[in-house]
Amino acid sequence: MFNKVVLVGRLGADPETRQSQSGVAVASFRLATLVSKRSKSGQKEEKTDWHRIIAFSNLAGFCGKYLTKGRLVLVEGHLSNRESADKGLFTEIVASTIQALDRPPDSNRNTTTPKE
């Protein structure tokens, strides 16, 4: 069995950060990726897919400190299905690595993260 996801995209908003009931740092954000294909007429078409990313512990701290809306990031992780009372069943990516691929607005900021 194998469950791995690798995405490169841009944050749709600043990450939301919080503490879990057990005191673990949690960050979540939406990531936009582009899918390009050719239409039947040969025209290039692009579609934006949105992905919910969730990160824990030190990785969550990195997200809250260094990531902002519009940043280009690489996310590695695995798919997880979760059920919510208000949203029903949904899929999210639980990140194991997040790396910023562009320069932050303040160029003195770190752009790599420790692996968990």
How many residues are present in the chain? Answer: 116
Task: Give, rounded to a whole angstrom, the gap between the first and last alpha carbons of the chain.
Answer: 21
**Residue 109 included in any domain:** no
Q: State the pLDDT at residue 65.
A: 94
Q: Is residue 114 part of a domain?
A: no
Token match 């007429």: residue? Answer: 41
Q: Does 87 map to a domain? A: yes
Contact 56, 26 (CB under 8 A): yes
pLDDT of residue 115: 53
**Domain for residue 110, yes or no?**
no
Residue 86 has φ and ψ, to the nearest 5°, of -95, -25
CATH number of the domain that 84 lies in?
2.40.50.140
Print the domain residue range for 68.
5-36+45-100
pTM here is 0.82
Count of domains forming the chain: 1
- Cβ neighbours for 112, distance < 8 A, ≥ 6 positions apart: 99, 100
Sequence letter at residue 50: W
- Residue-wise pLDDT tens digits, 10-38: 999 999 999 999 999 999 999 999 999 88
